[in-house]
Homo-oligomer: A and B are copies of this chain.
């Protein structure tokens, strides 16, 4: 399943990630990645089986970073839920192309380090107290982030209010339930 990458492969993944983050998904090309390293595209295949493996490694990178951000945002915070939501939004807005790559297709779970997905989900799961509520909150947060990223909301300044309205809704239900 998840092979440990050689150090050269790590450099390839880093170059790929840099390309993705600075120029977007359509720049993430085997030839462009090779160019960035001063070699030819076919040489990449000495280190990685295919492009999907490169993408999976970049995605794993992203999840690791996101998980760390979520953990540090929630540990000992006064308002852990608000803090988590902010960390989520920050991650997505600082790494929009990465966030899209991480979410827009089914996860290549076979090619991801075991436990990474669960680790990323853990903080929200802990805060909401139930898988069902965690899923609902995640859907809301992801929906807001991806609709914003995809320019789906009219630019009328109403979006911040939508965030508050949604958070309020979930907090209300959580309190009602725990009472």
Contacts and interface: CB of A to CB of B under 8 A. Distances in A.
A162 interface: yes
A114 interface: no
Main secondary structure, interface of A, reads helix
A91 B63 CA distance: 31
Contact of A147 (B139, B169, B176): B139
A152 interface: yes
Contacts of A156: 131
Each complex incorporates copies of this chain amounting to 2
Interface string A101-136: 001111100000000000000000000001111111
Contact of A150 (B103, B143, B151): B103
Contacts of A146: 142-143, 146
A176 B172 contact: yes
A142 B153 CA distance: 13
Interface of A: 103-107, 130-136, 138-144, 146-147, 150-154, 156, 158-159, 161-166, 168-170, 172-173, 176
Contact of A139 (B134, B154, B161, B162): B162
B139 A166 contact: yes
Nearest to A160: B132
B131 A138 contact: no
